[in-house]
A and B are shown apart, each in its own frame.
Chain A
């Protein structure tokens, strides 16, 4: 081809050019097909994939937190509600000089160092266009002060949210509980999808046990966002489901009366409706202010609550375990009758003390000088220890255990509140298992008067009382009465769970023991006579005094009640139901270190019953001077202790 041609060969040149044009055109078409192939691949074959990617790019799903359900008492009194709360937000990207702005805000609203530290921490973790809360729970006055200065507060926003409020404050805080920030531990057990947008969770009480119902389900907003993540518009709004409103069986008025009646004493009051197990009042003192937890309790305050020797966070009504003392005597009497080891007319002589055969140990009655001849009714009425020592010996620990657990002692009641304790109803088997020791006969005596190893919660005692009142019919105690869906308005009543009844071979046994309890309250000489004598309705009651471990017998002998250190004084117990002929309320009262059941706890129970049955408190408490006759006298008893009335 490299021939030399002096002249231009136009024809040849044109042919060459035409063929080159053809090659060029072919190359263009070929390369275009390459582009088209790639476009088909992207736009047809992988279309679905890229559509998803595009949506992932632009769509942000923002959860919409549900409104938490409200809580009411049985009469419609609000126990927990949602209160609008104002939060001060700052949008960092709109702020030129942050330290100056914070200083300026500090002049308008209260700002603690903790607020500022927390804010600075959050600013670092949040996109700059998003508002970061600086302070929550602004007062109306603070909101107003911000609004007035709005013009030179660029980037500052006041947003309204909802915060949990407990109108009764300390009252019933142990039952209602409280909500608090979701902790790491909470995150381990909850389904986080149900908590999207939520920052709080039920921590205690009904707020915790009914968390599922109260919470509701979060909705979602689908937001279109740009490449910086800045939300531009709302594409879809799926409303969540509000939490259910709950109606509790609690009677706020009765609850407050019980709390007031306890006064300065620590202790617990549990009142049940024996006909269905509804909790009318459940008091544990001292209490605490739930609002401290809602707003995020600081470490120091929480530590103070935890370290408080009176343990305000401890729910004595269902977590506290105390010896029941003489309050077990009616149940003991029923066991004696049912196992046919005694009859109501059988008598024992109380000379103030007794000995077991072959033992030198003396078992004393709380009444040093003795009660004389006691039958079943007078034994209950006077709370004679000798009578019940004898009965316990005859029954033996196995039958006592079997009888007592039928009344629910030593086991959880199954109440719909968290953290209930079991208590303890000892048995031969239990002692072998836990202490690897045989059962000693002397221990049976102590069990017979509610001392020794026996531990019960005030709630268990209330339930036992309700069972006696209902002649064996029992119900699981519960505080939840009904739940209502705020959207549909439908209401669901909680079903009452009946328990297997205590069936006696002869129903007259019930009459006998109940009569003994009525006499306790209404017959002169009965340990609860001063409580029951003035009542316009019939009360069946039993007093009890539970010894606190740690006080030596020498001390007991040497000191009077007033001389005993407070924390070693006996607990005062009282159980009752009324009206005895038509039981509507069953109650158990425990006053820690108050010394004497009938004198201290009885009047508290009476006021609660007055309020519930009469709608007002008519009972006047007697002066807190313990009468000499019924004072727990020092006893030279060598070993475990006896109960007093």
Chain B
């Protein structure tokens, strides 16, 4: 090593320098990698030692992380400008899905682009909070009735399109994402409370709007014995899996409920039951802690964000992520009706992981493009 090189950094660039350079938030990265890694480990067990499935999921997650890093490279302003276009294109795609969508499991959700099949509704989960945040960015906050009405319409149009598919889970998450942007923008409490009252009052009407299978799921939630071999079977077997896991679990690959096919959808929507069976309460609490860590980090980024768009987007995406977690776990443990919401980053399936990680890419972009002086 030459001694005379004064003034130059003598150390090699550290890992944090490297991460900073690529605009990666190390907190989020570590937490997301932990959750994804745990997901692959559990998937191996839940899929019945299917290495092909684990490999496929690993590739999807890797793609997701690449997308995340790529998204993080562009400054938030770019996304603000792009959001109307993204929103518009996605709405068109949703209409397209309804017209010529590929029917899977009796619902039209997929668009076959030849190369890949993907769900435009997944994209809308990102486009929705982006557009609402961008719209509010230029308005006075808290929003006026007019502002709010426009924002609500922006939420309602794609939500209705998705409901037509029908995909209640995704529609709920979309409404949540848009709604959270409004909420963090300062939506008046009286309107929030009013909306809750209106929805409550409209419940009987909504009840009739639901499909028979959706109604069945809600009735089954109240009384799983209603249909022990049908809709109630999922919930009953899921509770058996979770409850029999106990405090410390039966051990990795030792869960019998999934392995012996008692637990349906064990590697997709009900994968949390497998974690609970094999790793016990310790495992579920650890996972919940990881998720809360991710949400917490997202909220911190939102607090530190430098303009309205960034704040609202960061906060809405974080809360939407939490709603994901809450609905999936809530449904698996019999607290909520069964709606098709995957456990983020763990359930088998690609589109949701990629769109989620793209969202975290935006959070990282918001975090790493701050100009400290301007504050």
Task: Point out the residues of chain B lying under 8 angstroms from A432, CB to CB.
Answer: none
Task: Point out the residues of chain A lying under 8 angstroms from B281, CB to CB.
Answer: 39-40, 43-44
Task: Point out the residues of chain A lying under 8 angstroms from B333, CB to CB.
Answer: 35, 38-39, 42
B288 touches A36 (CB 8 A): yes
The interface stretch among A19-27, A71-79, A131-139 is: A19-27
B296 touches A25 (CB 8 A): yes
Contact with A along B253-291 (1 / 0, CB 8 A): 000110011100000000000001000110011001000
B240 touches A57 (CB 8 A): yes
Q: Which of A53, A58, A224, A232 meets B243, CB within 8 Å? A: A53
B244 touches A53 (CB 8 A): yes
Task: Point out the residues of chain A lying under 8 angstroms from B183, CB to CB.
Answer: 20, 24
**Residues 18-76 of A at the B interface (beta carbon under 8 Å):** 18, 20-21, 24-25, 28-29, 31-32, 34-36, 38-40, 42-44, 46-47, 49-51, 53-54, 57-58
B243 touches A17 (CB 8 A): no
A340→B259 CA distance, assembly (Å): 91
Q: Looking at chain B's contact residues, is the secondary structure mostly helix, strand, loop, or mixed?
A: helix
Task: Point out the residues of chain B lying under 8 angstroms from A436, CB to CB.
Answer: none
A33→B142 CA distance, assembly (Å): 30
Say if the beta carbon of A226 comes within 8 Å of chain B.
yes
Q: Which residue of B lies closest to A7 (CB)?
A: B140
Say if the beta carbon of B322 comes within 8 Å of chain A.
yes
Q: Which residue of B lies closest to A19 (CB)?
A: B186
A43 touches B245 (CB 8 A): yes
Say if the beta carbon of A264 comes within 8 Å of chain B.
no
Most buried by A among B244, B276, B295: B244
Say if the beta carbon of A16 comes within 8 Å of chain B.
yes
Task: Point out the residues of chain A lying under 8 angstroms from B326, CB to CB.
Answer: 31-32, 35
B260 touches A226 (CB 8 A): yes
Q: Which residue of A lies closest to B250 (CB)?
A: A54
A13 touches B308 (CB 8 A): yes
Given contacts A24-B183, A36-B288, contact A51 B319 (CB under 8 A): no
A47 touches B141 (CB 8 A): no
Q: Which residue of A lies closest to B322 (CB)?
A: A28
**Residues 316-375 of B at the A interface (beta carbon under 8 Å):** 318-319, 322, 326, 329-330, 333-335
Q: Which of A21, A35, A36, A51 meets B246, CB within 8 Å? A: A51
A57 touches B262 (CB 8 A): yes
Task: Point out the residues of chain A lying under 8 angstroms from B292, CB to CB.
Answer: 28-29, 32
Say if the beta carbon of A227 comes within 8 Å of chain B.
yes
Interface residues on A, range: 35 or more
Q: Which of B142, B260, B288, B330 meets A57, CB within 8 Å? A: B260
Q: Which of A8, A24, A225 meets B140, CB within 8 Å? A: A8
Given contacts A39-B281, A44-B281, A58-B262, contact A50 B239 (CB under 8 A): yes
Task: Point out the residues of chain A lying under 8 angstroms from B335, CB to CB.
Answer: 34-35, 38
A39 touches B260 (CB 8 A): no
Distance between B337 CB and nearest chain A CB, rounded to angstroms: 15
Say if the beta carbon of A114 comes within 8 Å of chain B.
no
Say if the beta carbon of B23 comes within 8 Å of chain A.
no
Q: How many A-B residue pairs have CB under 8 A?
A: 127
B140 touches A58 (CB 8 A): no
A232→B262 CA distance, assembly (Å): 14
Task: Point out the residues of chain A lying under 8 angstroms from B284, CB to CB.
Answer: 39, 43
**Residues 218-262 of B at the A interface (beta carbon under 8 Å):** 237, 239-247, 256-257, 260-262
B302 touches A21 (CB 8 A): yes
Distance between A268 CB and nearest chain B CB, rounded to angstroms: 61
Say if the beta carbon of B311 comes within 8 Å of chain A.
yes
Task: Point out the residues of chain B lying under 8 angstroms from A25, CB to CB.
Answer: 296, 299
B247 touches A44 (CB 8 A): yes
Q: Which of B140, B246, B330 meets A43, CB within 8 Å? A: B246
Given contacts A1-B188, A20-B186, A24-B319, contact A42 B260 (CB under 8 A): no
Contact with A along B134-145 (1 / 0, CB 8 A): 000000111000
A1→B315 CA distance, assembly (Å): 24
A50 touches B184 (CB 8 A): no
B260 touches A224 (CB 8 A): yes
A58→B258 CA distance, assembly (Å): 11
Q: Which residue of A lies closest to B333 (CB)?
A: A38
A205→B114 CA distance, assembly (Å): 80
Task: Point out the residues of chain B lying under 8 angstroms from A50, CB to CB.
Answer: 239-240, 242-244
Say if the beta carbon of B19 comes within 8 Å of chain A.
no
**Residues 159-194 of B at the A interface (beta carbon under 8 Å):** 180, 183-184, 186, 188
A47 touches B262 (CB 8 A): no
Task: Point out the residues of chain B lying under 8 angstroms from A53, CB to CB.
Answer: 240, 243-244
Q: Which residue of A lies closest to B318 (CB)?
A: A24
Say if the beta carbon of A5 comes within 8 Å of chain B.
yes
A286→B55 CA distance, assembly (Å): 78
A32→B335 CA distance, assembly (Å): 12
A12→B276 CA distance, assembly (Å): 45
Say if the beta carbon of A228 comes within 8 Å of chain B.
yes
B141 touches A51 (CB 8 A): no
Q: Which of B184, B262, B329 meets A17, CB within 8 Å? A: B184
A58 touches B260 (CB 8 A): yes
Distance between B113 CB and nearest chain A CB, rounded to angstroms: 36
Q: Which of B140, B186, B318, B334 meets A5, CB within 8 Å? A: B140
Distance between A607 CB and nearest chain B CB, rounded to angstroms: 69
B322 touches A51 (CB 8 A): no
Distance between A102 CB and nearest chain B CB, rounded to angstroms: 32
A47→B303 CA distance, assembly (Å): 41
Task: Point out the residues of chain A lying under 8 angstroms from B295, CB to CB.
Answer: 28
B303 touches A227 (CB 8 A): no
Given contacts A35-B333, A36-B288, contact A24 B244 (CB under 8 A): no
A51→B250 CA distance, assembly (Å): 10
Task: Point out the residues of chain A lying under 8 angstroms from B247, CB to CB.
Answer: 43-44, 47
Task: Point out the residues of chain B lying under 8 angstroms from A38, CB to CB.
Answer: 333-335
Q: Which residue of A lies closest to B295 (CB)?
A: A28
Q: Which residue of B lies closest to A23 (CB)?
A: B183
Task: Point out the residues of chain A lying under 8 angstroms from B240, CB to CB.
Answer: 50, 53-54, 57
Distance between B40 CB and nearest chain A CB, rounded to angstroms: 23
A612→B175 CA distance, assembly (Å): 102
**Residues 17-32 of B at the A interface (beta carbon under 8 Å):** none
A21 touches B315 (CB 8 A): yes
Task: Point out the residues of chain B lying under 8 angstroms from A44, CB to CB.
Answer: 246-247, 281
Distance between A363 CB and nearest chain B CB, rounded to angstroms: 85
Q: Which of B141, B180, B245 meets A16, CB within 8 Å? A: B141
A128→B281 CA distance, assembly (Å): 39
Task: Point out the residues of chain B lying under 8 angstroms from A13, CB to CB.
Answer: 141, 186, 308
A39→B273 CA distance, assembly (Å): 11
Q: Which residue of B lies closest to A8 (CB)?
A: B140
Contact with B along A521-540 (1 / 0, CB 8 A): 00000000000000000000
A36→B288 CA distance, assembly (Å): 9
A36→B186 CA distance, assembly (Å): 30
**Residues 59-75 of B at the A interface (beta carbon under 8 Å):** none
Task: Point out the residues of chain B lying under 8 angstroms from A18, CB to CB.
Answer: 303
A42 touches B303 (CB 8 A): no
Distance between A57 CB and nearest chain B CB, rounded to angstroms: 5
Contact with A along B297-313 (1 / 0, CB 8 A): 00100110000100100
Given contacts A17-B184, A38-B335, contact A32 B243 (CB under 8 A): no
A371→B112 CA distance, assembly (Å): 122
Q: Which residue of B lies closest to A47 (CB)?
A: B246
Given contacts A20-B183, A227-B260, contact A35 B188 (CB under 8 A): no
Most buried by B among A16, A20, A232: A20
Of the A-B pairs whose beta carbons lie under 8 Å apart in the complex, a sample of 15, sorted by A's number, is A8-B140, A13-B141, A16-B186, A17-B184, A35-B326, A35-B333, A38-B333, A39-B281, A43-B243, A43-B281, A46-B243, A47-B246, A54-B241, A57-B262, A227-B262
Closest 9 CB pairs of A and B: A50-B243, A54-B244, A227-B261, A226-B260, A43-B281, A47-B246, A42-B243, A50-B244, A51-B244
A-B contacts besides A1-B142, A50-B240, 15 pairs, CB < 8 Å: A13-B186, A17-B315, A28-B319, A32-B326, A35-B329, A35-B333, A35-B335, A38-B335, A43-B243, A46-B243, A47-B243, A54-B241, A57-B237, A57-B262, A224-B260
